[in-house]
Structure 1
């Protein structure tokens, strides 16, 4: 058996030569370049660790993982997906972070009866009327983390909120989800351009609107810049900032003290006490030298899910057997319990996180409480499979 490295940061086991029915080929399409490329690094490394923990053989089968960079461009992603399906003959596709990319490639993937396992993107369309027996999400439906924070602010009796998100599918899903649970007054709802780094106009509008709280969803460099600029404007202590995916283990080191006192919602944090999560964090830090984010955790879970399903079904060639094995989700998730709903989206918990400055001066994101327990998305009743 011969192995080669697919990339320097992580080694994914592959086998060369003709692929038999008892071998597995996986395409990992993710965002590895540009300001948000760090998210793809976490996805790639999390999946790599999952493969490594399976001895380089998911389900005990020789496994080849082919990595493609979608560059956060739907057209590039379509070309990559078509290449993986038609030339590389992959049976499974994963890695996609952004919902506009997922929506661009889902049709050619599922039309080819290739299993699409999303470690992050969860568009509302694919949870509802466009659900497919070939599409599974291992994180959430896009609305859910935002709905969780909306529910929390509603519970806290917050009267007026200002909303800010990027102008793309997941951004609109995010604010829609927030408003589903929050019944107070939305004083304004603003959509920033993807990749925007100067938020002076938005911050001026927030100050003028005088809300009781701000809810923001901005990933990667967008979140770093916004949080710093918001603190520099002196608003963090005046108008509390709540968010999802704006502040996490990826962005917190770059944000620093500007993040202290802000709140986030998520399905996972590095301090969760379950055994699988503790082991994952320890192994990840030892291998890659940095603290994993939820993006890495979700991708690791995806590899673990595939390992369990491939083992039970004896591979991915028998599509009905493989789909049934996926649905069972017999693996130890970093989230604790893990189960799929009827639409192949998870049923799970969501947590309130807070950024604090510890007595030793270290700035950390800690889990404060559970906001929602065994939450189902709002679209599964529209799914007919």
Structure 2
């Protein structure tokens, strides 16, 4: 009888194992990734995607020990296209989280639609002023920065350098206005000139002729992606480089320096991030990114990498649950090691962080790269937090 009982027990265990093995694994959490992945500004969106996917790959297709499925969508720098994509992600894909969002005009077009549908938006680059202030919302977390803040850092630097007459230039859209507005907030002297150019303009010969005639103490610009390549090359070809200091934000970075090379040497650049920042997470990120993609990352890649780490920290806390209230609480904690070092969210769910000024110089490999000049702002809140009703 004992032998029979033993045999029956063994058979029972043997039958249990196949049933356990056939239990379905949990479905991956869907994450919509919206960015500019084609056209002149594709380098920005691609760097963001590469930075985000690096974090996913480092964790074996997971974030926070939870399997994820990243749905990549090209918004083409067209708000109407982005709005259609948002509809698809909400209605067909039923995503709980959307990240990416390269340009402010696209972010402004889709954020209300997404957040009103209960989607959590984790912005990885754009930081338009209205969303930091009166239009802030509990379902929006911006990991990058508020647009004005890097400009404020450069404005403070311009004051420290004693520049008296400055010409500011930017594309004529929301972010361009934010970046000039932020600069003027810190650099309180009247600007010698304020020039807004069409978002598609790549020929700056007329504007540079005016600058050469006006002979300001410095020129401040915001020209991201392909715009930055065209502007800096034109500035150098016009003979202005080295004569009139060029102060920039989102213009000379990892997306543009491979094309600009030595033509950008000496340009000053304000940002939340640079490849030589000493945070341990940053050293690992830069080394892994260069090994994976054979190029130096940009701030766009760094911010998107942080967005992935933030989402991972939240999914770990919720154990994979995508309940919006649980995700919001977990994201707000920002329990992750940022490549920027110091990082936390303010009451409007925009970052409180440090800002630096870098200069384009040759690195140890002889390549044009960013070298830290100074930490210009420390634990800096954006200017719109007081207008946010969540404060």
Q: Which category describes the TM-score, using the shorter chain as reference length?
A: over 0.9
- For residues 247 and 19 of structure 1, what CA distance do their matches in structure 2 show? 45
* Matching of residue 199 in structure 1 with residue 204 in structure 2: yes
- For residues 238 and 72 of structure 1, what CA distance do their matches in structure 2 show? 35
* Counterpart in the other structure of 1:257: 262
Going from structure 1 to structure 2, the CA distance change for 1:19 and 1:186 (only over 3 Å counts) comes to farther
Bigger Rg, structure 1 or 2:
2
* Matching of residue 76 in structure 1 with residue 78 in structure 2: no
- Runs of 4+ displaced beyond 6 Å: none
Going from structure 1 to structure 2, the CA distance change for 1:359 and 1:134 (only over 3 Å counts) comes to closer
* Counterpart in the other structure of 2:357: 352
Query: Could you say what secondary structure the match of 2:243 adopts?
Result: coil
CA positional deviation for 1:267: 0.5
For structure 1, the 5+ residue unaligned runs are: 1-17
Where in structure 2 are the equivalents of 1:186-265 lying within 5 Å?
186-265=191-270
Query: Could you say what secondary structure the match of 2:192 adopts?
Result: strand
RMSD: 1.5
- For residues 201 and 190 of structure 1, what CA distance do their matches in structure 2 show? 11
CA offset digits 1:192-247 (Å, max 9, x no partner): 11121110011011112221100000011111111111111111122110000110
- For residues 257 and 69 of structure 2, what CA distance do their matches in structure 1 show? 34
Going from structure 1 to structure 2, the CA distance change for 1:134 and 1:358 (only over 3 Å counts) comes to closer
CA positional deviation for 1:342: 0.3
Does the aligned pair in 1 maintain the 2:356–2:375 contact within 8 Å? Answer: yes
Does the aligned pair in 1 maintain the 2:119–2:139 contact within 8 Å? Answer: yes
Going from structure 1 to structure 2, the CA distance change for 1:359 and 1:75 (only over 3 Å counts) comes to closer
Match of 1:46 among 33, 42, 51: 51
Going from structure 1 to structure 2, the CA distance change for 1:362 and 1:87 (only over 3 Å counts) comes to closer
* Matching of residue 159 in structure 1 with residue 164 in structure 2: yes
Does the aligned pair in 2 maintain the 1:313–1:321 contact within 8 Å? Answer: yes
- For residues 301 and 19 of structure 1, what CA distance do their matches in structure 2 show? 27
TM-score by length of 2: 0.91
Where in structure 2 are the equivalents of 1:281-296 lying within 5 Å?
281-296=286-301
Does the aligned pair in 2 maintain the 1:265–1:351 contact within 8 Å? Answer: yes
CA positional deviation for 1:359: 8.6
Length, aligned pairs only: 367
* Matching of residue 128 in structure 1 with residue 141 in structure 2: no
Where in structure 2 are the equivalents of 1:1-40 lying within 5 Å?
23-40=28-45
TM-score by length of 1: 0.92
* Matching of residue 144 in structure 1 with residue 149 in structure 2: yes
- For residues 129 and 142 of structure 2, what CA distance do their matches in structure 1 show? 11
Query: Could you say what secondary structure the match of 1:378 adopts?
Result: coil
Going from structure 1 to structure 2, the CA distance change for 1:360 and 1:347 (only over 3 Å counts) comes to closer
Query: Could you say what secondary structure the match of 1:226 adopts?
Result: helix
Query: Could you say what secondary structure the match of 1:139 adopts?
Result: coil
Does the aligned pair in 1 maintain the 2:363–2:369 contact within 8 Å? Answer: yes
Going from structure 1 to structure 2, the CA distance change for 1:174 and 1:316 (only over 3 Å counts) comes to farther
CA offset digits 1:299-330 (Å, max 9, x no partner): 00000000001110223432212101100000
Query: Could you say what secondary structure the match of 2:370 adopts?
Result: strand
Does the aligned pair in 1 maintain the 2:261–2:367 contact within 8 Å? Answer: no
CA positional deviation for 1:180: 0.4
Does the aligned pair in 2 maintain the 1:351–1:372 contact within 8 Å? Answer: yes
Does the aligned pair in 1 maintain the 2:119–2:324 contact within 8 Å? Answer: no
CA positional deviation for 1:288: 1.4
CA offset digits 1:115-135 (Å, max 9, x no partner): 011000101000001000000
- For residues 201 and 226 of structure 2, what CA distance do their matches in structure 1 show? 9
Going from structure 1 to structure 2, the CA distance change for 1:55 and 1:260 (only over 3 Å counts) comes to same
* Counterpart in the other structure of 1:299: 304
Where in structure 2 are the equivalents of 1:330-345 lying within 5 Å?
330-345=335-350
Query: Could you say what secondary structure the match of 1:162 adopts?
Result: strand
- For residues 314 and 360 of structure 1, what CA distance do their matches in structure 2 show? 43
* Matching of residue 169 in structure 1 with residue 192 in structure 2: no
